Amino acid sequence: MSKPNAPVANLLVELFVEELPPKSLKKLGAAFADALVASLQGAGLAGPESVATPFATPRRLALHLTHVAAQAADRPQQVKLMPVAVGLDATGAPTPALLKKLGSLGLDEQAVGRLQRQGQGKAETLFLDTVVPGATLADGLQKALDETLLALPIPKVMSYQLERGGPEVQPGWTSVNFVRPAHGLVALHGPSVVDVSVLGLKAQRHTQGHRFEARLPTIELGHADHYEQRLVEDGAVIPRFEARRAEIVRQLAAAAAALGLKPIEDEALLDEVTALVERPNVLTCQFEPEFLAVPQECLILTMKANQKYFPLLDHAGKLTHRFLVVSNISPQDPSAVVQGNERVVRPRLADAKFFFDQDRKRPLADRVAGLDKVVYHGKLGTQGQRTERVRALAHAIVNQLRMATVPYTVEAKDEFEVLDGKVQQAALLAKADLLTDMVGEFPELQGIMGAYYARHEGLRDGVAIAIEDHYKPRFAGDALPRNHTGTVVALADKLETLVGLFGIGQLPTGDKDPFALRRHALGVIRILSEKNLPLQLPELVAAARPVFGELINDPSAALLDFFYDRLAVALREQGYTAHEVDAVLSLRPTRLGDVGKRLEAVRAFAALPEAASLAAANKRVSNILKKTDGAIPQEVQAGLLREAAEQALAAALQAAAAAAQRQFDAHDYTGSLQALAVLKAPVDAFFEDVMVNAEDEALRRNRLALLQQLHGAMNQVADLSRLAA
């Protein structure tokens, strides 16, 4: 809330700097605006009705904020002073300690009458009700700027000397720290300059436009609301990051459409290029078609990573010899810019072609021995040793698949032997491309180049695909391995990483995960779940432990907890409720391909009218069984079922449990849970009419046996008690 009658106007703040790091600009712009808005709102100078517009270009961070008050409203404040026994003597007169405290607050003895007492006895305390004057905009903005610059996500700052400033600045001697040297500060409240300063700069109303194409060398801003329009018209700058990005997208699409092509989609590249230009101008360039003999991934990566170009693809997704450049200048004759970019890209493509030609002269198998000289981890040995561990684990996974195949036939045996052979070859060669020149230059191409070189050597396509796919999924939403060979090697590779690093205590902590173990775990989960593999997660972890020998401690318990934690997070992100996820995962299902079916079954069961009552009863049964001492009989003795309600429950349970078991064995989890709905009435009647803890021990234990059978029948698919409110 602003102070009554305090002027309210729109605020503009701009920090004009040298070129900011392009990969950080989007985040810096958002952080600059968000921190300023939060601080001003906290000071009462801006409210929820204020609308923020952030600006970020290579040379500026700025914010336009509506409805900002020149002074915040005064606010009441209660100040705790001291205990009554310390502040007042026996007659109620103020003590010297109280008078001293009041004096420090600018008050005299007359303020004693305004004091409030709170509490009783020795805890009775004196409080003073006072009013704190609202902050002025100059004070509030100064505080906001100081806090914002300290809080910006800058991994490494520059230290530089000021050349000019106020009387406290000694040119060439006074140093400041910021991500890049700052040269100007604008702070306008409506038409008025706000008296603030940062980084040795005092606020004024002047800014600069485009380095080369601004219509005016200096732009004087008459009002905070003129900022964007003046920069566009007189500064040749599109100051809003998202508007500039949208203009680049529009121009890229138009230039590509004119050639009947389409630009490559890359959100990170778009953000980076947006951070490199202030007024984008897209130009079409080309390179010699003979370079297309090099794998397109290599050409695309070198153009994107090194030159920030947008390669053009045909409608089949194949790379063409055309590409687009986003220039920061718009000359009448762009030929010099086009030719310059074509000249620059040629050596890059030539390097890629040279690497590709040289790498193919040496087979992948010849490079495997060199992996023994590449350190994987100080405690886990070399890449060569890791390769052997992955091969051993991959063989164990094939055996687990073989054992899970029912019925097991001669044809199946032959198929698994062939699969094992392919898996062993792919696992042996999977890391060999790490020693190629191309992957040495572009680590992002590991696996991809191995597949190209494998095909060049005439290896089976299934092996080549597996070499590429064993890294998949590389990121959230990435494709899974395309064939059985790649699937097995990918599982082995990720499990070897997880078991090894967990086994030496290298667990992720907080937001730190230097070995991407969360990503590896999610990759294993996705492969097992989405491919519905007949593999048991605990057995996979157990198979990975022996391949390390004495190098590691057994990480199985901690790693399985980690897997189920990651699975729970992933399922909640997919839209399942915490109760649904908890109900299913509390049973620790070992075959992850069943988890989705179980969740859908739980969701369908929860929609039944009987669900709430059965979930509550299940929770009650669980609590009773937990508190029971001694072993509970496995069988229910019909002769000890005395009450009609327990006889009815036993009969209903026998029929319902059999039906539910048949559905469960057929993996129809929805049908299995719904078969239990008929138990609502007999369960309710049982708890209404039957005393479980009967004095007769035989009756009591027989009733506990009945409840134990009920509990087992109800909790095969999920722990239904977790659905109880």
Say what the pLDDT of residue 575 is: 92
pLDDT value of position 691:
86
Hey, how many other C-beta atoms are within 10 angstroms of the C-beta on 83? 14
Type of residue numbered 444: E
pLDDT surpassing 90 at residue 32: yes
DSSP 2-69: BPTT--EEEEEEEEEESPPPGGGHHHHHHHHHHHHHHHHHHTTSB-TT--EEEEEETTEEEEEEEEEE
**In this structure, are residues 537 and 592 in contact, taking their beta carbons and an 8 Å threshold?**
yes
Range 8-72+136-234: architecture per CATH: 2-Layer Sandwich (3.30)
CA distance readout (Å), 681 to 328, 640, 677, 686, 719: 76, 21, 9, 9, 20
Q: Give the torsion through C-alpha atoms of 580, 584, 588, 589, to 10 deg.
A: -140
pLDDT (0 to 100) of residue 174: 74
Residue with tokens 């901690």: 558
Averaged over 303-311, what is the pLDDT? 94
Binning pLDDT at 50, 70 and 90, where does residue 639 land?
confident
Span 39-58, mean pLDDT?
A: 94
> How far apart, in whole angstroms, are the C-alpha atoms of residue 253 and residue 263?
7
Cβ neighbours, 10 Å, residue 437: 16
155, pLDDT greater than 60 = yes
Per-residue model confidence (pLDDT) at position 412: 61
Looking at residue 320, its pLDDT comes to 97
The stretch 313-334 carries a mean pLDDT of 96
Mean pLDDT score, 23-27: 95
Q: Can you give the pLDDT at residue 160? A: 86
Cα-based angle 250, 251, 252 (whole degrees, multiple of 5): 95
> Sorting pLDDT into bands at 50, 70 and 90, what band is 686?
confident
Q: Which of these, 146, 149, 153, 112, lies nearest to 129 by C-alpha position? A: 112
pLDDT in tens, 402-427: 888 765 555 566 788 889 999 999 99
Is the model more confident about 307 or about 638? 307
* pLDDT above 60 for 1: no
CA separation for the pair 254, 283 (Å, rounded) = 11
CA–CA separation, 506 and 523 (whole Å): 18
Residue of 375, 383, 392, 399 whose CA lies nearest to 549: 392
**CA proximity to 69, closest of 2, 141, 134:** 2
Q: What is the pLDDT of residue 540?
A: 96
Instruction: Provide the pLDDT for residue 80.
Output: 86
Cβ-proximal residues to 95 (8 Å cutoff; 6+ apart), any chain: 86, 87, 88, 89
pLDDT at 699: 87
Mean pLDDT of 209-222: 94
Query: Looking at residues 63-91, what average pLDDT do you find?
Result: 87
For residues 58 and 107, which has the higher predicted lDDT (pLDDT)? 58
pLDDT value at residue 276 = 97
Tokens of 502: 């967990």
**Cα–Cα dist 272/156, whole Å:** 19
The per-residue pLDDT for range 173-187, each reduced to its tens digit, is: 678 889 999 999 999
The answer on pLDDT for 172 being more than 70 is: no
Contact 158, 149 (CB under 8 A): no
Residue 131 has what pLDDT? 77
Place of tokens 């001293």: 100
pLDDT in tens, 428-445: 999 999 999 999 999 999
* Spatial separation of the C-alpha atoms in residues 7 and 345, rounded to whole Å: 56
Q: Tell me which of 157 and 313 has the higher pLDDT.
A: 313
Q: Flag whether pLDDT at 369 surpasses 80.
A: yes
**How high is the pLDDT of residue 92?**
84
Q: Kindly list the domain boundaries of the chain, sorted by start residue.
A: 8-72+136-234, 75-132, 241-359, 381-575, 595-723
Decide: 676 and 713 in contact? Cβ < 8 Å: yes
CATH for 381-575 (1.10.10, 1.10.3210, 1.20.120, 2.60.40): 1.10.3210
CATH fold of 595-723 reads Isoleucyl-tRNA Synthetase; Domain 1 (1.10.730)
Per-residue pLDDT band for 6 (boundaries 50, 70, 90) equals low
Mind listing the pLDDT tens digit for each residue in 371-408? Answer: 999 999 999 999 999 999 999 999 999 999 988 876 55
Tell me the average pLDDT of the chain: 91
Q: What is the pTM of this model?
A: 0.80
Provide the 3-class DSSP secondary structure of residue 626: helix
pLDDT at 5: 61
543 closest CA partner among 402, 374, 640, 377: 402
pLDDT in tens, 341-367: 999 999 999 999 999 999 999 999 999
What's the pLDDT at 164? Answer: 58
Residue position matching structure tokens 């775990």 = 521
How long is the chain?
Answer: 725
CA atoms within 13 A on the CB side of 45: 24
pLDDT digits (tens, 9 = 90+) for 598-626: 999 999 988 888 888 888 888 888 888 88
- Residue 560's contacts (CB-CB under 8 Å, 6 or more residues apart) are 537, 538, 541, 588
**pLDDT (average), residues 712-721:** 88
In three-state secondary structure terms, 95 is coil
Q: How confident is the model at residue 118 (pLDDT cuts 50, 70, 90)?
A: confident
List all residues 6 or more positions away from 404 whose beta carbon is below 8 Å from its beta carbon.
Answer: 534, 535
Q: How confident is the model at residue 636 (pLDDT cuts 50, 70, 90)?
A: confident
